[in-house]
Structure 1
Amino acid sequence: MVAKNQNTTTKVFPVLGMSCASCAGSAENSVKHAPGVINASVNFATGNLTVEYQPDMIDAVKLQKAVQAGGYDLLIEDEINQQDTLEAIQAQKFKQLKIKTIWAIILSLPVVAIGMFFMNISYANEIMWAFATPVVIILGKDFFVNAWKQAKHRSANMDTLVALSTGIAYLFSVFNMLFPEFWHQRGLHAHVYFEAASVVIAFILLGKLLEEKAKGNTSSAIKKLMGLQPKTVMVIQPDGTETQVAIEQVTAGDIILVKPGEKIAVDGLVTSGSSYVDESMLSGEPVPVLKKENEKVFAGTINQKGSFQFKAVKVGKETMLAHIIKMVQDAQGSKAPVQKLVDKIAGIFVPVVMSIAIITFILWFILGGDNGVVQGLLAAVTVLVIACPCALGLATPTAIMVGVGKGAENGILIKDAESLELAKRINAIVLDKTGTITEGRPQVLDIRWLDKDDSTKDILLSIEKQSEHPLAEAVVKHLAGVTATTSSMFDSITGKGAKANHKEETYFVGNRKLLTENNIAVADDLLKQAHEWGNQSKTVIWFANSKQALSVIAISDKIKETSVQAIQEIQDMGIDLYMLTGDNETTAKAIAQQTGIKHYKAEVLPQHKADFVKELQRQEKVVAMVGDGINDSTALATADVSIAMGKGSDIAMDVAKMTIISSDLTKIPQAIRLSKQTVATIKQNLFWAFIYNLIGIPVAAGILYPINGFLLNPMIAGAAMALSSVSVVSNSLRLKWKK
């Protein structure tokens, strides 16, 4: 690494060939020491290298060579093609891993069957050798290759543990099969351990397959966010002609035409026309916003039925959508996999086991007498066999698999082990309002008719069916059983409502301002009802003829039936609860009071949600973010535990590490309880895995021999290893029957 003394460039490159957190460290060190590099960081969770360098001293090709020198590779294609190439590589890797796992399991089954039940059949050893060899040498090749890479960098991980134990067990078994008389002449029986070697590789491959499947969804959220921006736009030239151009060619100052149903390409200001724009990806609120001249529009939002032109102000990486994408990428990249802890343990465990095996052989050689060499070799091999990482490797994944399965049965989809582990420590939960606490769709709650006369509701339906306004859809749904009459001369009045004629009478639907401007009288009982609904944070619209108001309608986003119960249950668990919403203060306060929420913030933008999560984290809180919209994606990615509502946007579900399928908030306390049970099981599993090694390794080394003459047979060591794995799996399965 060099001092920062001139212009530098910071870029992100995907790193290929990493299998664990230790690999990330090795790749990072390879780049850090390259001339011209200011700083480098490799994140194993995202598989990316973020490097700051001096372009006049080093370029992408030289960075790639530096990484290749460490035993890995760097994808240096341009950004346009990089994502597609990376996805193709990952898909191919997953396919190959799946094939290897299936074949490893198929080939290991007969080896286990013979080793456990049919050891006395003719050519038993040879048959097991024939089945185990392709598992170890072909299907398990990557473990040995990665272990060699780690050895070259003077480090060790789970691959080292797998390669060491399976390699020793396999080679020792081949020797015993080919030269059994070596042991017979010394009064010993030549045992083989082919089943131990093949089964360990099959199990570890299965674990890696599950890990790759979970990691494969990481980039899909970013891809969908990028998909919110159209590929081409219609630019109005100075002479008035329309030209379709690629999004990359749009520059600030261009006049862009947006037609009904189209996505807005860049941030800008409306210059002519008007329309309602769906900005739920920013605000999370279900009601589209009216855009008139000089109003701001944002990339990724969706135009409704109108058409307008706007001037491009911010393009490319400057748009709000681009900033959201960048923040989600940064937040996702800051997360580390749970396997990192296991790799750290393995990094200490492997050298210790190797040292014990070597010391065991040396002590037997010095103190063992005539058979010291033979007994020492047997004891050293027994240490390596009994220290097989099967129990250690299965301790976490089996508990996670059962815990995730248990969650799925209860409508809780959990994407990774880290979130399941962290959920038990949650002491602050941030809730989005719309679609999370509420249903997320406007609906008519009530209609009050003048003198209880609803004979004109068919006219109301006729007008609302012709209206473009989003609230009109709620009225149409509410009057689903009514047959609409015919009306003429429909006219949409921007920002106020609409009017139409029926049998020589004019009818109005809209806000109070529309009625006032047309000198329409409002009865006291309707006015009183409107004020009451307004104080309850409900949206009020009016229906009137040319003389008087005929009805007042209350529209609102209904609170879910289970929200109040869930909020009470969460707060009873001692967890701080906060509601954030882009809605106004009156509505937010009303919702908070109705649900019993003590802390809330109104008129919150997406980036402010993420900032609020970070502020809680600075207070050393473990924060869960619960949301359903694109506008929540940054905060979801920033939170320690991210939970999406299943009926919300696909992007929110992709970013989140947990998804509540039913969008029922009562599932959140269930998820926390499941986390506590799963983590307890993981701790029990790791305890038994380490206790097994703490007791088994010294016994295998011969610590009891001076006391009572007991020397552990390698075959018994193999059985003990298998028993430890069975106990770990059985303990994990107990989760299934817990409530």
Structure 2
Amino acid sequence: MKKTIELKISGMHCQSCEKLIAQELAELNGVIDSKINYSSGRGLVSFESDKISEAAIIGAVKNAGYESEIISAENNGEGGGFEGFNGKQAEPPGLKKEFPANSDLLPSEKSLNLSLSGMHCSSCAAIIEKAVKKAPGVNKVSVNFAAEKAFVAFNANIIGAEEIIKAISKAGYKALEINAKDSEFESRKRREMISSQFKKFIISLVLSLPMIYFMFMDFFVWLPGRAALFPYAGIISLILTIPVQFIIGAGFYRGMWSSLKMKTFNMDSLIAIGTSTAFFYSLANLAIYFFKTGSVIGIDGSKVPDLYFETAAFLITFVILGKWLEARTKGKTSDAIKKLMGLQAKTARVIRNGAVQDIGIEEVKRGDIVMVRPGEKVPVDGKVIKGSSSVDESMITGESIPVEKNAGDNVTGGTVNKTGSFEFEAARIGNETVLAQIIRLIEEAQGSKAPIQNFADRISAWFVPAVIGIATFTFIVWYFALGASLTFSLMAFTAVIVIACPCALGLATPTSLMAGTGKGAEYGILIKGGEPLESACRVNAVIFDKTGTITKGKPEVTDIASFGSIGEDKILAIAASLEKQSEHPLAEAIFGYAQEKSVKFEDILNFNAIAGHGVSGEIKGEKYFLGNRRLIEDVLGLPLDRFGKKIIGLEEQGKTVMTLASQKEILGVVAVADTIRTTSGRAVERLKKMGMKIFMITGDNERTAKAIAGQAGVENVLAEVLPEDKAKEVRKLQETGFIVAMVGDGINDAPALAQANLGIAMGSGTDVAMETGGVVLMKSDINDVATTFELAKETMNKIKQNMFFALFYNVAAIPIAARVFAGMGIVLKPELAGLAMALSSVSVVTNSLFLKFFRPEKRNYVSLVAPFVMVALFGLIFLEFAKFSSRMEESGAGEGATMSILR
């Protein structure tokens, strides 16, 4: 039996960690496939449950050096797979599914969402994934470094959540199961983490500040206390550096140890190696001085030479400062989820046994009668049974106009009641509510990977080992080939180690994806991951379904004509009786019109819905047919030539004509019209300006289809297409070279949505359509289709900008850190190199945040200009660091004058 589990993994720092976990899992017998996502802190593992247990998979992740916990699990049977976890939108989740987006889970298995801590770069994510994947029973695991979350799918019969968390803990990271009922959990965790980082920074800074004073004593001999303190600078610096190095910086050593267990390196390794080099080199020099002089105090009012404890202390201080700034900034990328969580009501007023009770939202049961007063939030989803009001649904749909609610109407949890009071019956509670599912969908989307991130993954796989190799090569060249002093060579080695920043590269995609999908949610556009978002940028053809998409989906009867021996009232009665059992929108229009006219309905026997044609049934022994031209001419063989002028005239007005016939003759027609949405024309115009080819697809005849298409400004019409053939039409366009987006809302659209490169489902459509679409429009406003493409392109631009900046930073910074330009007076002290590294990550995250300025149909000039300003600003800061380092070396605060570096 094939099974899949989703893991939440903690401790990943970069893509290298992700790769480690995947490699560890691949070595297990019985593991079919695994997808690790450091950016979401989650992973998915598919395996044969008769060959390996979930506990073994969790153990594998643990062996990789990461902590993880199972979020959810599912039996996949013989088929399945879970490519969707990385964004493939052929099988994304719908809002009705309880399991996470793109996880492909089945109810027989369990999933686990974990909140992670301790990760410093994308390599940590890989380590956690590898550790969790080793545990038996783990099917799927993905870790999101940026979101600090993990998703785990597992077999509950083999492994439990506690074992998964322990596996992550043994890998050197912390994991906590996310309590879906506690909307404050994530924000509280974020605040605690930011507070912890800030405290570490303050403590580290306080301990490091005296060493700045000692550095200034090199410059200014007149400073107070110099004569008394300067000889003791070495031993005092050692005492102050020890807690910074081994208590504040302990996490870096734990991270390095976890990566070493997995036979790799991560960012923690770089920091630990760099600071240890400076610390232990200084300690060795102090020890040598002690053995030579018998004292650790400087002679003749000078300090002990060649000590660089301040380098180690300030390196850690600046890195922690960068992590604090990064955490603060990253938290803002998930503002959309925080806002949605804030919409959830805390209590509900229910009527039980005739008495009104105020209870916690988690205590509401399905079937409870809930009372809502003006100004209160609707606590859960349900159907109004008494009273009426207007409800503000803007926080869910983005639509600002309140919606009238009466008995029989559905209400959604998290929306706000405006005027009247009403009572409703609770239908969906807890994780079943629309709001809870939207939050889950966005979380999973933000944790998914865009295909462009594979490039970053490949670079990250060798990045850290390559940096260590470059640093080692730098030392060898300076010390052995060029004859530089040991101090100079080690400082160059340390600067290269700490200035390289895999974090910036690891954050480039997920932070933009988080900001972009969050911004989409504000407009009622739910993008289900990186794959749909990137697909949207490649689309050059858009197919709109007609009914319910181009049109409002609420057709009305406009004409009834009799062609035979029975009158118009009888035609309406027969037609309405036949359509009474149909669920088609046209059937509802005819049936509703007949009800308004108080028509007497006939009993129907042997009812049959003929897909793509119409319906049939018997009334008092006579068989009747109601449908389109194909049904009358092709199935019944009755010619329509005699009535062609009437029918064509109605069709040219954009009306859908339903013909009523017996087995012998044509009796008459019922014409139904569905008006186009007011936003359809504007949406088509915007898409054309983007250079897209627009199509409309429908089962209607060509004349009616062209009339509707003409009103919307659509020039290409695919008419008389049977429901089962819509996907074929999409495929035909794809075969001609088009990258196709399909926009629809009906159950008949689901295959076409799945076939398209990008499926866009209207929110008012069926659950199946919403499950199949890679994008869901909550407002059912096709003008949002154009907004989706605008947002996707701007998000992808941000990703590309971030990746360019991260690569450019590392390519430009490493040679300077290696002191290639030392002969020109350009050097970079290790502690300033560490600060530059930290600022590079903050710059990438900040650039992603400019997506918050996105507005539909408007150029985001702030976002366009910001990257250039940031690059210029960062370049200036970097140059100032280099100048400052050079001045320090030339003045003797460093190892010696730049020009006298040789032994």
Confirm or deny a common fold (TM above 0.5). Answer: yes
Give the counterpart letter for 1:436 in structure 2: T
| Distance change >3 Å, CA 398–CA 360, structure 1 → 2 | same
Assess if the C-alpha contact under 8 Å between 1:107 and 1:132 holds in 2.
no
Query: In the aligned structure 2, how far is the partner of 1:606 from the partner of 1:460?
Result: 27
Question: 2:656 matched to which residue of 1?
Answer: 538
Is 1:702 the counterpart of 2:819 in the alignment? yes
Is 1:386 the counterpart of 2:496 in the alignment? no
Assess if the C-alpha contact under 8 Å between 1:24 and 1:43 holds in 2.
no
Is 1:85 the counterpart of 2:109 in the alignment? yes
Query: In the aligned structure 2, how far is the partner of 1:511 from the partner of 1:78?
Result: 41
Assess if the C-alpha contact under 8 Å between 1:13 and 1:50 holds in 2.
yes
Query: In the aligned structure 2, how far is the partner of 1:629 from the partner of 1:698?
Result: 58
SS in 2 for 1:711: coil
Assess if the C-alpha contact under 8 Å between 1:43 and 1:336 holds in 2.
no
- Out of 200, 219, 235, the residue aligned to residue 111 of structure 1 is 200
| Distance change >3 Å, CA 50–CA 126, structure 1 → 2 | closer
Query: In the aligned structure 1, how far is the partner of 2:464 from the partner of 2:627?
Result: 74
Q: Deviations over 1:508-534 (max 9, x none)?
A: 998999xxxxxxxxxxxx998666335
Assess if the C-alpha contact under 8 Å between 1:564 and 1:596 holds in 2.
yes
Give the counterpart letter for 1:30 in structure 2: E
SS in 2 for 1:662: coil
Q: Deviations over 1:198-234 (max 9, x none)?
A: 56777599989999x99xxxxxxxxxxxxxxxxxxxx
1:260-659 matches, cutoff 5 A: 337-366=451-480, 372-445=485-558, 468=581, 473-474=588-589, 491-492=603-604, 532-534=649-651, 536-540=654-658, 554-582=671-699, 587-602=704-719, 604=721, 608-659=725-776
SS in 1 for 2:760: strand
SS in 1 for 2:27: helix
Question: 2:268 matched to which residue of 1?
Answer: 163
- Cα deviation for residue 136 of structure 1 reads 4.7
Assess if the C-alpha contact under 8 Å between 2:266 and 2:464 holds in 1.
yes
SS in 1 for 2:111: helix
Give the share of equivalent positions with the same residue, in percent: 32
Q: Deviations over 1:569-617 (max 9, x none)?
A: 3234322233334555565455444444344434556664445444544
- Cα deviation for residue 359 of structure 1 reads 0.9
Is 1:186 the counterpart of 2:306 in the alignment? yes
SS in 1 for 2:781: coil
Assess if the C-alpha contact under 8 Å between 1:626 and 1:642 holds in 2.
yes
Query: In the aligned structure 1, how far is the partner of 2:532 from the partner of 2:321?
Result: 29
- Cα deviation for residue 656 of structure 1 reads 2.6
SS in 2 for 1:431: strand
Any unmatched runs of 5+ in structure 2?
38-42, 79-104, 113-137, 139-151, 154-160, 166-174, 179-184, 212-238, 288-302, 338-447, 563-567, 608-614, 630-642, 661-666, 859-903
Give the counterpart letter for 2:51 in structure 1: A
Query: In the aligned structure 2, how far is the partner of 1:510 from the partner of 1:555?
Result: 13
Assess if the C-alpha contact under 8 Å between 1:169 and 1:197 holds in 2.
no
| Distance change >3 Å, CA 97–CA 594, structure 1 → 2 | same
Query: In the aligned structure 2, how far is the partner of 1:640 from the partner of 1:144?
Result: 43
TM-score, normalised with respect to structure 1: 0.59
Query: In the aligned structure 2, how far is the partner of 1:627 from the partner of 1:150?
Result: 49
Query: In the aligned structure 2, how far is the partner of 1:497 from the partner of 1:604?
Result: 24
Query: In the aligned structure 2, how far is the partner of 1:22 from the partner of 1:592?
Result: 50
Query: In the aligned structure 1, how far is the partner of 2:579 from the partner of 2:508?
Result: 62
Give the counterpart letter for 2:589 in structure 1: A
Give the counterpart letter for 1:392 in structure 2: L
| Distance change >3 Å, CA 585–CA 26, structure 1 → 2 | farther
Query: In the aligned structure 1, how far is the partner of 2:791 from the partner of 2:729?
Result: 27
Query: In the aligned structure 1, how far is the partner of 2:836 from the partner of 2:756?
Result: 42
| Distance change >3 Å, CA 434–CA 510, structure 1 → 2 | closer
- Cα deviation for residue 497 of structure 1 reads 8.5
- Out of 34, 44, 49, the residue aligned to residue 47 of structure 1 is 44
Give the counterpart letter for 1:715 in structure 2: E
Question: 1:711 matched to which residue of 2?
Answer: 827
| Distance change >3 Å, CA 128–CA 417, structure 1 → 2 | farther
SS in 2 for 1:560: coil
Give the counterpart letter for 2:268 in structure 1: A
- Cα deviation for residue 440 of structure 1 reads 2.8
Question: 2:837 matched to which residue of 1?
Answer: 721
Question: 2:19 matched to which residue of 1?
Answer: 22
SS in 1 for 2:696: strand
| Distance change >3 Å, CA 411–CA 347, structure 1 → 2 | same
Question: 2:853 matched to which residue of 1?
Answer: 737
**Which range moves more in the overlay, 659-668 or 172-181?**
172-181
Assess if the C-alpha contact under 8 Å between 1:180 and 1:190 holds in 2.
no
Assess if the C-alpha contact under 8 Å between 2:6 and 2:45 holds in 1.
yes
Query: In the aligned structure 1, how far is the partner of 2:775 from the partner of 2:796?
Result: 16
SS in 1 for 2:827: coil
**Which range moves more in the overlay, 405-414 or 611-620?**
611-620
| Distance change >3 Å, CA 439–CA 185, structure 1 → 2 | same
**Which range moves more in the overlay, 467-476 or 74-83?**
74-83
Q: Deviations over 1:403-453 (max 9, x none)?
A: 33333333322232333333222212233333222223433346799xxxx
Assess if the C-alpha contact under 8 Å between 1:184 and 1:190 holds in 2.
no
Give the counterpart letter for 1:570 in structure 2: L
Any unmatched runs of 5+ in structure 1?
1-9, 52-57, 152-159, 215-333, 450-454, 501-507, 514-525, 543-548
- Out of 662, 665, 690, the residue aligned to residue 779 of structure 2 is 662
| Distance change >3 Å, CA 689–CA 467, structure 1 → 2 | closer
- Cα deviation for residue 40 of structure 1 reads 6.6
TM-score, normalised with respect to structure 2: 0.50
Query: In the aligned structure 1, how far is the partner of 2:461 from the partner of 2:304?
Result: 38
Give the counterpart letter for 1:22 in structure 2: K
Q: Deviations over 1:270-311 (max 9, x none)?
A: xxxxxxxxxxxxxxxxxxxxxxxxxxxxxxxxxxxxxxxxxx
Query: In the aligned structure 2, how far is the partner of 1:184 from the partner of 1:393?
Result: 41
Query: In the aligned structure 1, how far is the partner of 2:682 from the partner of 2:32?
Result: 48
Give the counterpart letter for 1:384 in structure 2: I
Assess if the C-alpha contact under 8 Å between 1:108 and 1:135 holds in 2.
no
| Distance change >3 Å, CA 456–CA 440, structure 1 → 2 | closer
SS in 2 for 1:691: helix
Query: In the aligned structure 2, how far is the partner of 1:586 from the partner of 1:467?
Result: 27
Query: In the aligned structure 1, how far is the partner of 2:819 from the partner of 2:617?
Result: 90
Question: 1:259 matched to which residue of 2?
Answer: none
| Distance change >3 Å, CA 566–CA 695, structure 1 → 2 | same
- Cα deviation for residue 386 of structure 1 reads 0.9
